[in-house]
Amino acid sequence: MNAQQLSHRLTRVAYHVPKGAVVADIGSDHAYLPCYLVLNGVADKAVAGEVVKGPFESARKQVQQEGLTGQIDVRLASGLDAIQPEDGINAVTIAGMGGPLICSILEQGKERLDGVERLILQPNVHAKSIRDWAAANDWVITEEEILKENEKIYEILVLEKTLSPVLLTQQQLLMGPELMKQKTEIFREKWIRESEQWKNIVASMEATAQTMEIIGKKQELIEKIQLVEEVLQRENS
Ligand code: SAM
């Protein structure tokens, strides 16, 4: 992978960045994504934010190598502290981290999201935490994608600010309102895998002492298995 040739996962993240965007990529590592966006004329300007020194240096080097120091600012900062109002950022990408970490970055930097019209988020796990955060903070999910790369399944969520929040069901929060409509083969594979794992956990819990905690956790998993199976068996969501 390099700035000209992104991985399939990052190519799909890039696809959701609107043309002419001023984009901030948070947790930018090698800055491949912002470099690709500027090189391909998608973004006019970008900020690459990175909290760890090593990846920050790699990002800085990459931007220099591509001759993009005039268009991409690489900043050593935690989360949305990397952006300032004068940057005029209108799209933010956060990819390759767990859902809860992405949420904590959004939650801690909420006041810096004024003027941001679109969030393109790619959690490696626990996408549900992002849907919960979106629902609690008046962001609506406009698009979702699910893809597979190197045997791993990834989800991409596109959020836009809304004045009329949409109430999502427990199933939509867990599995994704748009992904449930598409119900692709990869979606099915993901949820069959997950529910098999939950069933194994429930079975191993059956074999241990039935404390209140175990009973509660078992019940929680059984409910999730039922939610998932109902969606997989339904003709249309
Ligand atoms: N976004 C790239 C991608 O999707 O391939 C890199 C993903 S890499 C696994 C996650 C990066 O996020 C790491 O470089 C890590 O240092 C950075 N990171 C983690 N927490 C962060 C935070 N609070 N603010 C900025 N960067 C962060």
pLDDT at 2: 79
Residues 25 and 111 in one domain: yes
- Asked if residue 175 belongs to a domain, the reply is no
Residues 131 and 222 in one domain: no
pLDDT at 17: 98
Long-range contacts of 62-68 (CB under 8 A, 24+ apart): 62/3, 62/30, 62/31, 62/32, 62/35, 63/31, 63/34, 63/35, 66/3, 66/35, 66/39, 68/35, 68/38, 68/39
CA 94 to ligand 1 centroid distance, Å:
8
> Is the shortest distance between the CB of 29 and ligand 1 below 6 Å?
yes
Residues 144 and 212 in one domain: no
Residues 114 and 58 in one domain: yes
CA 163 to ligand 1 centroid distance, Å:
30
Question: What is the CATH classification number for the domain harbouring 45?
Answer: 3.40.50.150
Q: Which domain holds residue 225?
A: 185-236
Q: Pick the residue whose CA is nearest to atom 11 on ligand 1.
A: 27
> Is the shortest distance between the CB of 96 and ligand 1 below 6 Å?
yes
Tell me if 76 sits within 8 A of 44, measured CB to CB. no
Average pLDDT over residues 108-134: 97
Ligand 1 atom at minimal distance to the Cα of residue 79: 24
Give, for ligand 1, the residue of 7, 51, 61, 78 to mutate: max count of ligand atoms closer than 8 Å to Cβ.
Answer: 51
Is this model's pTM higher than 0.85 or not? yes
Residue 236 has pLDDT above 80, yes or no: no
Give, for ligand 1, the residue of 26, 29, 104, 121 to mutate: max count of ligand atoms closer than 8 Å to Cβ.
Answer: 29
Residues 105 and 190 in one domain: no
Residues 44 and 85 in one domain: yes
> Is the shortest distance between the CB of 51 and ligand 1 below 6 Å?
yes
CA 27 to ligand 1 centroid distance, Å:
3
> Is the shortest distance between the CB of 34 and ligand 1 below 6 Å?
no
CA 104 to each of CA 55, 83, 121: distance values in angstroms, whole numbers, following the listed order: 20, 16, 13
> Is the shortest distance between the CB of 75 and ligand 1 below 6 Å?
no
Residues 116 and 231 in one domain: no
Q: How far apart are CA 98 and CA 138, in angstroms?
A: 21
pLDDT at 108: 98
pLDDT at 81: 98
- Asked if residue 207 belongs to a domain, the reply is yes
pLDDT at 237: 57
Q: Which residue has the tokens 């300007």?
A: 45
Q: How many domains does the chain have?
A: 2
- Asked if residue 88 belongs to a domain, the reply is yes
Over residues 2-45, the pLDDT tens digits come to 778 899 999 999 999 999 999 999 999 999 999 999 999 999 99
Confidence grade of residue 165 (pLDDT, cut at 50, 70, 90): confident
